[in-house]
Amino acid sequence: MSAGAVGLALALDVAVGEPPTTLHPVAWFGRAVGWLDRDWPVPQLAGLVGALGLPLIAAVVVWTIVVAATALAPLAGATVAGLVLFVTTSLRRLLSAVRDVTETTERDLGAARERLRALAGRDASALPAGQVRSAAVESAAENLADGLVAPLLAFAVGAQLSPAVGAAAAAWVKAVNTMDSMLGYRSKPVGWGPARLDDAVMWIPARASALLLAVAAGAPTATRRVSRWVGSVPSPNSGWPMGTLAASLDVRLEKPDVYVLNADAHLPTVADARAAVRTVAVAGGLAYALTAALVVLPEVR
């Protein structure tokens, strides 16, 4: 049943991409996180309590719904688990956004800079075309880890017990990452807890994503090259998938005044960015396939 849930999530991602924001449970969760973003007497403590509590509540709600559905019929439980996995993962929309930004750099750089806001949280108002494409490619690599591999891996681990536990684990990881993306900035004292928890949760998925990208690109030595560059990236995790994609495509990826990956190479051309999209797509497909293979194990024992 868990393998069917993975298949349903993939089919929905290919066919739909993502549900509308008004119907998206992650957007609903985001409203709860927004309530936490305020002045607290001890903001770090408030952020830590929120980081520990809100994702746990989301996981318990999901577990309860999947268990209830399973009690009605195992197929209903697997369907609900697949729906949960669908709303906690994203690949098609990511690839579409990256493709749109990179293609637009050839026609209208101003529009490309504007559209980049949906992918990368940086000031793009003065970025040249190559750096706009760099930011888009970086986002493709980083969001592969955050938005796909992490929840899929959590589902695969939890599904060793039951589809309900797998769905709850995926929801928990997505909630942790959502809190970090909304609050985990140095300018927000309340974001310390969410950021630190996300760093811990993403440690394995980021490195697993790097391996998937290396395999997808047919560049098995890419991850070895990355180990020399990741120290310049403030995040302990995002440098691995970004650097692996830079090494695999032999392009330079950089965030001005913050980090440079593969400094001796050139910034991505449109053709390079297209290759990046293809590589991330293949890596995402591998992630789905491996997840399906892993969740089959407890069902055949």
Q: What is the mean pLDDT of residues 130-139?
A: 96
pLDDT of residue 301: 56
Name the nearest CA neighbour of 273 among 297, 251, 295.
Answer: 251
Name the nearest CA neighbour of 88 among 178, 208, 158.
Answer: 178
Domain that holds residue 169: 2-300
Q: What is the mean pLDDT of residues 149-165?
A: 97
How many Cα atoms occupy the beta-carbon half-sphere of 191 within 13 Å?
16
Q: Are 267 and 134 in contact (CB under 8 A)?
A: yes
Calpha distance 203→173 (Å, rounded):
12
pLDDT by residue (tens digit) across 26-82? 999 999 899 899 889 999 999 999 999 999 999 999 999 999 999 999 999 999 999
Enter the tokens of residue 206.
Answer: 């980021």
Global pTM reads 0.94
Name the nearest CA neighbour of 15 among 93, 77, 99.
Answer: 93
| Reported confidence tier of residue 22, pLDDT bands at 50, 70, 90 | confident
Calpha distance 244→30 (Å, rounded):
30
| Reported confidence tier of residue 298, pLDDT bands at 50, 70, 90 | low
Q: What is the mean pLDDT of residues 138-144?
A: 96
Q: What is the number of structural domains in the chain? A: 1
pLDDT of residue 299: 60
Q: Are 119 and 242 in contact (CB under 8 A)?
A: no
What does the DSSP 8-state code read for residue 267?
A: P
pLDDT of residue 120: 82
Q: How many residues are given for the chain?
A: 301
Contacts of 261 (CB under 8 A, 6+ apart): 226, 229, 232, 233, 239, 242, 243, 246, 252, 253, 254
Beta bridge partners of 259: 255
Name the nearest CA neighbour of 105 among 132, 70, 137.
Answer: 132
Name the nearest CA neighbour of 265 among 130, 160, 174, 140.
Answer: 130
For residue 255, which phi and psi values (nearest 5 degrees)?
-110, 115
